[in-house]
Structures are given as structure tokens and as C-alpha cells.
Structure 1
Amino acid sequence: MEDPRREAPAVARNRDPILAVLRRILPQQGLVLEVASGSGEHALAVAQAFPGLTIQPSDPHPEARASTDAWGQGQGNMRAALELDAAASWPVMAAQAVLCINMIHIAPWAATEGLLRGAACCLPPGGLLYLYGPYRVAGAMVESNAEFDASLRERDAAWGIRDLETVAAAGVAAGFGPPEVIEMPANNLSVVFRRHPAAADG
């Protein structure tokens, strides 16, 4: 039988830097929803690093969910992957944190808006939304990111590296405070939103 597990080369490069940030910001207990889990390798890494957390991976694509479930086989704190499209309606759930790694530049802008809106609905006041990937900052990008952006837009005109300021403003509009921005290797950023306490009244 063919092994459904996929391997994303970028995971080996960015897994440890991402975990270093998550060790500082994630709670020790509770449910963590990962949106756009892809191969599932990041979900497994987080589940292994945080045994007190329950990891709920998700992805709209059945092949990705099959890969994620295969990687998570035997990992007791990692749930079966959920079918979830960031841009569509989300199932009702309560999570302490939402993770989304390398999605918003390879999806239409509606997926970012849906991610922010959905995360705000399932997080408590102070709950965190963690985004990772490349960004355009103050309208500028390093050359490697500009080349990557051009290749993305050639594949799909609705894709492309997003402006950090635009994402931050959309996050605030969805009920989050201004994000903490952390520089990461290979010209990527960790962008950490906290759900604003006032959002609970909305």
C-alpha cells in the first residue's frame, strides 16, 4: 500500500525556528487549531513538542488530510485532520491558539480574511493567532522574496506575498490587537496576533 505521507522540504528548514517561537507563546494546555496543515509535518512537530496540548490539524484537500493523519498515527495528542477551508464557514469550536504556516501567500486574499474572521470567532480574549511566512514590509521585499512573489503570481494571479501592514490592519479589524512581528530565517516573519478583550463584547 502506498504511503500517503508527504514531505515538504521547507519543513526541515523552518520547523526548529518556528518551534522556538511557539515555545515562548503557546499555552501548555488546551486545543490548538492548525489551518492549512499541508503535509502535516508541522502539526506532528507541535504535538511532539507540546504534550499537554491537543493539536487539531485541518486542510481543505483530502490528500493533505491523508498525509497529516498518516504522520500523526500513534501521536495521542494529535486529532484526525479536519476538512476546513479558511475562506468558507468554520465549524464551531473553541481553541486557545490558531496556527497558520505558509498559507496566505499561496491562497486568494479571501482566505486571509476568512482566517482572521474564523480565528477571532474560536479564540478567547487573549487567545493567539500565529502566522508564518514571507511578507512585503513597507512596500519592500528582498530580491529572493520578490522572485518568489513573481513565480506565485505566474501560477495564480490571486496569490502573492502580502503586505504586512495590510494583514495587520485586517487583523485589527477582525478583533485582534496589533501583532508582534518576529524576524525569522530565510527572510520570513512570525506574526503573532492576540485576540483583543473588547472582541468578546462584539
Structure 2
Amino acid sequence: MLNYSEACERNKYAIATHLDAYLPNVRSVLEVGSGSGQHAIFLTSQHPHLIWQASDREQYLDALSINLEQYGISSLPPPIELDVLNHWPTRQYDALFSANSLHIMSWKEVKALFAGAGRAVSRRGWLFIYGPFRYRDGYTSESNREFDAWLKARNSESGIRDFEQVTELAEQHGFALRADVAMPANNQLLIWQRL
């Protein structure tokens, strides 16, 4: 695998366990920020009926394409370019999935992701977001507090996002929260449904 994420390898089983309740009734998934493609490869191996559209920014597409091609999964079309600020597909999907992306993005990009999800996810479709979050201005662990400080020192526009703020964004774009699942390593899996 040309590009490999240890975090993806650690969390893919826990994510799959919880998405198993939703994915049997989903046909198409748009993944925002696919990175190495490990989630796409693993989740489609567990749910072969899925048409999983991996995506990332232009500079990451070559490595992502090579990783996906190695596995030859028929439900994995070639990855597409997706920049949350200005480059979204025109079609709709049954679900949108993104892992460990919101804390890397600027707040402007986070807002653009939810706006894009409001257009890209079909009615009654799902929005799955995985990563660390803050609750009522507090951290869920000391390690998350340290991680947030590290993120902001590296890029002042990134950082662990507030659950309340992202939920408000989701609601503004037609999504209702259905689940907030505590995950290993002080992460959460947030699940919204488009009304």
C-alpha cells in the first residue's frame, strides 16, 4: 500500500461494527477525504453491494488510486477529486462518510462539508462522521486536550470541533442526529439522517 494510515487500521473494525446496522440498506456512499482508501477497501469488503465513491483533494488522488487498484474491488470506482470549498460531485448518494477530517479542516471547510452534505445526500440518507469532539467546551480526555493543542500549534485554523456546533451545522442543512457513539481512543461516531 503506497499510502498507509495506522489510525485507519486501528479504528476500521470499531467503525464497521456500528455501521453494520445502516449499510445493508445503503447502496451508494460518498467518502470525503479518503486518504489511503483503507476505510473504502475494508467497508466494501464487508458490504460488497456498496458502490463506494472515494474522494480526496487533487494532490492525493494518485496515491489513493494506486491503493484502490491494488485490491480490485468492483464496487470501488476510481476516486474523484473533492475539495469541500469548491468541488463537489453533482449526483446524490445514500450516505456520506468522513473519518478524522473535521479537526484537520478549517472552520470554513467544516461548514462547507456540511453544506455539501446537504446537497450530496439524498432524502432519508445518512451522514457518518468519525473523529474526536469536544462537549460543552470540554474535552473527553486529557490526550484529546493535548492533541488539540498540537493541532492548533501546527495550524491555527484546525482543532477538535465542538459537538454542539457541528450538530447545529448538520441541522441547518437538513440532518437530524440519530446516534452519538463513544468509540475507542477517545473518538466518536456521529450519525445523522437527512430529513
Normalising by the residue count of structure 1, what TM-score does the alignment of the two structures yield?
Answer: 0.91
Contact residue 124 and residue 193 of structure 2 kept, 8 A? yes
Stretches of 4+ aligned residues off by more than 6 angstroms = none
In structure 2, distance between residues paired with 1:123 and 1:39: 23
Answer yes or no: is 1:33 the counterpart of 2:37. Answer: no
Question: How far off its partner does 1:28 sit?
Answer: 4.0
Question: How far off its partner does 1:90 sit?
Answer: 1.3
Answer yes or no: is 1:54 the counterpart of 2:42. Answer: no
Answer yes or no: is 1:18 the counterpart of 2:15. Answer: yes
Q: Give the equivalent residue in structure 2 for 1:113.
A: 111
Contact residue 180 and residue 192 of structure 1 kept, 8 A? yes
Answer yes or no: is 1:9 the counterpart of 2:6. Answer: yes
Unaligned runs of 5+ in 1: 197-202
Q: What is the aligned counterpart of 1:65 among 61, 64, 75? A: 61
User: What is the aligned length?
Assistant: 192
Q: Give the equivalent residue in structure 1 for 2:168.
A: 169
Contact residue 28 and residue 50 of structure 1 kept, 8 A? no
Q: Give the equivalent residue in structure 2 for 1:199.
A: none
Contact residue 31 and residue 53 of structure 2 kept, 8 A? yes
Superposition CA RMSD, Å: 1.3
Q: Which amino acid aligns with 1:117?
A: A
Q: Which amino acid aligns with 2:42?
A: A
Evaluate the alpha carbon distance shift between residue 95 and residue 27 of structure 1 in structure 2; reply closer, same or farther with a 3 A threshold: farther
Q: Give the equivalent residue in structure 1 for 2:193.
A: 194
In structure 2, distance between residues paired with 1:44 and 1:67: 14
Unaligned runs of 5+ in 2: none
Once the two structures are superposed, residues 85-121 of structure 1 have per-residue CA deviations (whole angstroms, 9 ceiling, x without a partner) of: 1122412011000000000000101221111111111
In structure 2, distance between residues paired with 1:99 and 1:71: 19
Contact residue 107 and residue 159 of structure 1 kept, 8 A? yes
Question: How far off its partner does 1:168 sit?
Answer: 0.3
| SS of aligned partner of 1:158 | coil
Answer yes or no: is 1:155 the counterpart of 2:151. Answer: no
In structure 2, distance between residues paired with 1:118 and 1:145: 27
Contact residue 40 and residue 65 of structure 1 kept, 8 A? no
Q: Which amino acid aligns with 2:185?
A: A
| SS of aligned partner of 1:132 | strand
Q: Which has the higher strand share?
A: 2
Question: How far off its partner does 1:66 sit?
Answer: 2.1
Q: How does 1:110-149 map to 2 (within 5 A)?
A: 110-141=108-139, 142-149=141-148
Question: How far off its partner does 1:29 sit?
Answer: 4.6
| SS of aligned partner of 1:144 | helix
